[in-house]
Chain A
Amino acid sequence: MRTKLLAFLLTGILTGTMLAGCGSNAAEETKDDTAETVESKEAAETTEESADSSDTANSGEGKKYAIFIAINSNAFTMSVGDGAVDHGKEIGAEVTVFDGKGDQDTQVKQIETCITQGYDGFVIEPVSSDGAIPVIKQGQEAGIPMVTVIQECADQSLVSSFVGADHYEASVIQMESTLEKLGGKGKIAIINGQMGTTGQIQITEAFNTVLEKYPDVEVVEEQSANWVIDEALKITETWLQKYDDIDAIVGQSDAMALGAMKACQDAGTQMIISGRDAVPDALNAIEAGTMYCSINQGGPEMGAKSIEFVNKLANGETVEESYYTTNTLVTAENVADFK
């Protein structure tokens, strides 16, 4: 009996903490009834349309925005969140970052709770492009301006815009510069992200398009390391026993490329290794010469632009349907610019 009681207590504490995360901002709000909150929010928005669009420096004054990251556990997503918060400070708005921890249900609860908290706009990276649709519809019904970031949702007509990176272009740049470094011929191995994720699918497509133009390049192995460094390390360790003539390893992300790099170091070999994301450790490796290149996909720019967009929407302006950040190839030559 006591055990069951404690178990329920624990579950209750966990749920309560989740709600408290969103509800802590409600301390400033005096609205009680959910229904009233939604209606009065819509009324408040129409009266705010008088904001002067040329006064963009402070057009965010007093506004509250929420940015929902699918899983905030790597340097890239952190930089998007940071970019959003920083831009908020510039325009005088308060930006709160929520971490969905890779669970759509968690994100749904976060968004639902925030709908009742009087936010002026949402920036959402859906955990699942389909799974997020119902809660995005709720946001639409509540009249909250929304844009998606980093990843699109399955029905973009529900939101006003998508701010993200063009993974396809980034990967084209990555593969092309790697193959050029090889002189257009040789043996390469590819380490994929988690199979079936939007990122992996786009990147593989990009890689294949580039590879078609290089008939003298042979892909000897292609495996997935599920975006994590330790799996990439293990796989590369084994590959190095199977082959002694791999010229390059192309990783769909820096984390995996770094794992491959470590395996090469442990085995006392070196080869061309490329990644994507331009995380700090990859930049260090590029500087040290142990990694060849990575791609910077403008994380902070993504966060800032998404807030700029919802802020415009909250002020009654329109925004473009989509915005893609700049992809930049990072090699030893320009790595100092990104550190």
Chain B
Amino acid sequence: MKKEKSFNKSTVLRDYGLVIIFLVVVIILAIVTPTFRKPMNLLNVIKQASVNGILAFGMMIVVITGGIDLSMGSIVGFAGVCAALFAHPGEYPLIVPIVIALIAGGAIGFINGVGVSYGNLPPFIITLGTMSIARGLALVFSGGVPVIDMSESFVAIASGSLFGIPYLSYYFIGIALIFAFVLNKLVFGRHVYMIGGNKIAAKVSGINVKLNLLVVYTLSGLCSGLAGFLMASRTNQGSPTMGVSYEMDAVTAVVIGGVSMSGGAGKWYGVVIGALFIAVIENALTIFGVDPNWKQVVKGVIIIGAVLLDVKSKGKKE
């Protein structure tokens, strides 16, 4: 009985501890610097967290199944280039570049899924391969230089706002709610957690593990494709080198959000907080004029801290 109580306490602390730490940091920053607490700046922070947040959800479901997707950043570049090629003024309806980006991302994600489930390749290996392939394709399709000359409506998708709130934030919230629904309300969601918890047990209990993993990696690819499209819109160009290391930021958001790297656990709102947390830290470091290289150090320290917390609370469980 006593053991059960401490298990609940540490899980609760880990789940809500993150939210508490996040709020404390935000409040401190708001007090210390007037720039941070400006409404427009706070809206910017959410906007700046949005693309990474969308990627983080793709990474999240992959990590829950015990895998990793290293190809996300390269897909962002690849999908961005593909979208940009079809986004010149007056050529194609706006739906075309959006769909093309999703297809580009979904296709690479599908390859990852096939490699993991039917090829029995470790996720690290197959996504390392597609990371290189997607980046190469981005360079080939773009001719090595950024694709420019975008239509205004294409650029507006990631740059405009509604009721004063940036569009990007709406997309982030939308994706978050979709994943919350999928993970908590759909049978597929339950299967994802079970596969991550114990693949063999999941298979034995009748779950089609291979098919589910295929869907998981394709979904991750779709998230990357969407992010690629949004970045091309946001930066007004389809750069083949866009997105380098984006998968690292996605993993960071996922880990900070309390998703266990060994699989089987993680809450959707943790990922939201994780993505916001990173954006808050980056925003603060810019306001304070800190060298961006220190941002890398800070991120690394945070990710180690979050993983330690994860390992420690697992230790308490046993």
Interface residues, chain A, with chain B CB atoms under 8 Å away: 2-3, 6-7, 10, 14, 72-75, 78, 195, 221-226, 228-231, 233-235, 237-239, 241-242, 255, 258-259, 262, 265-266, 279-281, 284
Contact = CB atoms under 8 A, between A and B. Distances in A.
Given A221-B289, A238-B41, A2 B234 contact: no
A241 B40 contact: yes
Interface string B186-213: 0000000000000000000000000000
Given A195-B291, A241-B40, A281-B148, 7 more contacts: A7-B121, A10-B129, A223-B286, A229-B235, A235-B286, A238-B286, A255-B239
Contacts of B159: 262, 265-266
B235 A241 contact: no
A224 B289 CA distance: 10
Contacts of A195: 291, 293
A231 B145 contact: no
Chain B residues touching A, range: 35 or more
Contacts of B298: none
Nearest to B77: A73
A229 B237 CA distance: 9
7 tightest A-B CB contacts, nearest first:
A241-B41, A281-B148, A242-B35, A238-B286, A75-B145, A229-B235, A73-B241
A73 B243 CA distance: 13
Contacts of A226: 292
A241 B292 contact: no
Interface in B5-51: 35, 38, 40-41, 44, 47-48
26 contacts: A3-B121, A3-B122, A6-B125, A7-B125, A72-B144, A74-B145, A75-B146, A78-B145, A223-B289, A223-B292, A224-B293, A226-B292, A228-B241, A228-B244, A229-B242, A230-B231, A230-B235, A231-B292, A233-B234, A233-B235, A234-B282, A255-B146, A255-B239, A262-B234, A266-B159, A280-B145
A72 to B, nearest CB: 6
A238 B43 CA distance: 11
A337 B99 CA distance: 38
Nearest to A265: B159
Contacts of B220: none
Contact of A234 (B120, B240, B286): B286
Contact of A258 (B143, B145, B237, B283): B237
A46 to B, nearest CB: 38
B237 A237 contact: no
A238 B287 contact: yes
Interface string B292-306: 110000000000000
Nearest to B145: A75
Contact of A241 (B38, B129, B146, B234): B38
A338 B29 CA distance: 47
B286 A239 contact: yes
B120 A238 contact: no
A125 to B, nearest CB: 15
A225 B145 contact: no
B252 to A, nearest CB: 16
B289 A259 contact: no
A237 B145 CA distance: 25
A73 B283 CA distance: 28
Contacts of B287: 238, 242
B148 A284 contact: yes
A78 B239 contact: no
B234 A224 contact: no
A2 B149 CA distance: 47
Contact of B144 (A78, A235, A241): A78
A284 B234 CA distance: 18
B120 A262 contact: no
Contacts of B143: 78
Nearest to A266: B159
Contacts of A262: 159, 234-236
Contacts of B231: 230
Interface in B140-187: 143-146, 148-149, 159
Nearest to A234: B48
B119 interface: yes
B139 interface: yes
Given A235-B286, A238-B287, A258-B237, A224 B149 contact: no
Contacts of A265: 159
A231 B145 CA distance: 18
A259 B38 CA distance: 22
B120 A73 contact: no
Contact of A280 (B38, B148, B282): B148
